[in-house]
Amino acid sequence: DAGVIQSPRHEVTEMGQEVTLRCKPISGHNSLFWYRQTMMRGLELLIYFNNNVPIDDSGMPEDRFSAKMPNASFSTLKIQPSEPRDSAVYFCASSLADAPESSYEQYFGPGTRLTVT
Amino acid sequence: GQNIDQPTEMTATEGAIVQINCTYQTSGFNGLFWYQQHAGEAPTFLSYNVLDGLEEKGRFSSFLSRSKGYSYLLLKELQMKDSASYLCAVRDSNYQLIWGAGTKLIIKP
């Protein structure tokens, strides 16, 4: 199993540019999560999808952030325009939520380290 | 509000035992997770508790007391590779994971 795949692994861009992060969840998983991690704020949930439908996007910082999941095997997180304070590691995670009582632990991708100058 | 508290940093000696505590206040409870995260890497799942008591998995054990809003992760026979951050996360009534800030564990020879 390839695990959760994210691309790019590193992204350096200038303030004002559009940034698109990509994620391929584990095949068969029906929930997908986008997180942001910084030293100051720790791990923050931005948005999560269940069966390709966005369920909770209350963690999305502002309108500059948007996420899509057009099918079960692909999701994107877009930042437009990017700002230096967006610099962080962005993780995608997936899980199999087959029943509420199951553990359905989340499997994390390797992350995208974003630097906005 | 929802809150999860863990110590920021702990230091232990190779071969010893260390206990990392986690206390939580959340709107509802549907399970508690422990994840390990090595520097520069992604978090990886360690354990899950939904009922009170101790869950043992090799050198790692996790304990839960729902009435006290308390959990701990116990690491035995510490190895240098156990140096990492350990994240406590609670699933609330909406099945959302609330994450702690993590405990950085430093292992010394």
Nearest to residue B47, comparing CAs of B65, B38, B28, B60? B60
Q: How many whole angstroms separate alpha carbon B21 and alpha carbon B6? A: 6
**How does strand A53-56 pair with strand A88-95?**
unpaired
User: Which pair of structure tokens corresponds to residue B58?
Assistant: 């090799």
Q: Centre a 10 Å sphere on the Cβ of residue B38 and count the other Cβ atoms it contains.
A: 13
Q: What is the pLDDT of residue B12?
A: 97
CB B40 within 8 A of CB B101: no
Answer whether A105 sits within 8 Å of B48, measured CB to CB. Answer: yes
Instruction: Identify which of B50, B87, B94 has the shortest CB distance to residue A43.
Output: B87
* A39 shares contact with chain B (CB less than 8 Å): no
Residue A22, class by beta-carbon neighbours within 10 Å (0-12 exposed, 13-18 middle, 19+ buried)?
middle
Q: What is the mean pLDDT of residues B65-69?
A: 96
Q: Percentage of chain A surpassing pLDDT 90?
A: 78
* A83 shares contact with chain B (CB less than 8 Å): no
pLDDT tens, position by position, A18-53? 999 999 999 999 999 999 999 888 899 999 999 999
Percent composition of chain B: helix, strand, coil (DSSP 3-state, to 5): 5, 55, 40
**At A9, which amino acid appears?**
R
Q: Centre a 10 Å sphere on the Cβ of residue B60 and count the other Cβ atoms it contains.
A: 17
> Which of B57 and A91 is assigned the larger pLDDT?
A91
Q: How many whole angstroms separate alpha carbon B96 and alpha carbon B99? A: 10
> Residue A107: beta bridge partners?
A94
pLDDT tens, position by position, B9-55? 999 999 999 999 999 999 899 999 999 999 999 999 999 999 999 99
Answer whether B42 sits within 8 Å of A106, measured CB to CB. Answer: no
Q: What is the pLDDT of residue A23?
A: 98
**How does strand A19-24 pair with strand A31-38?**
unpaired
Q: pLDDT band at A102, cuts 50/70/90?
A: low
Average pLDDT value for chain B: 95
**At A102, which amino acid appears?**
S
Q: Percentage of chain B surpassing pLDDT 90?
A: 86
Q: What is the pLDDT of residue B96?
A: 80
pLDDT tens, position by position, A57-101? 888 988 999 999 999 999 999 999 999 999 999 999 999 876 555
Three-state secondary structure call for residue B82: helix
Q: pLDDT band at B95, cuts 50/70/90?
A: confident
Q: How many whole angstroms separate alpha carbon A100 and alpha carbon B3? A: 22
Three-state secondary structure call for residue A92: strand
Residue A16, class by beta-carbon neighbours within 10 Å (0-12 exposed, 13-18 middle, 19+ buried)?
exposed
Contacts of A98 in chain B (CB under 8 A): none
Using the predicted structure, report yes or no on whether residue A104 has a pLDDT greater than 90: no
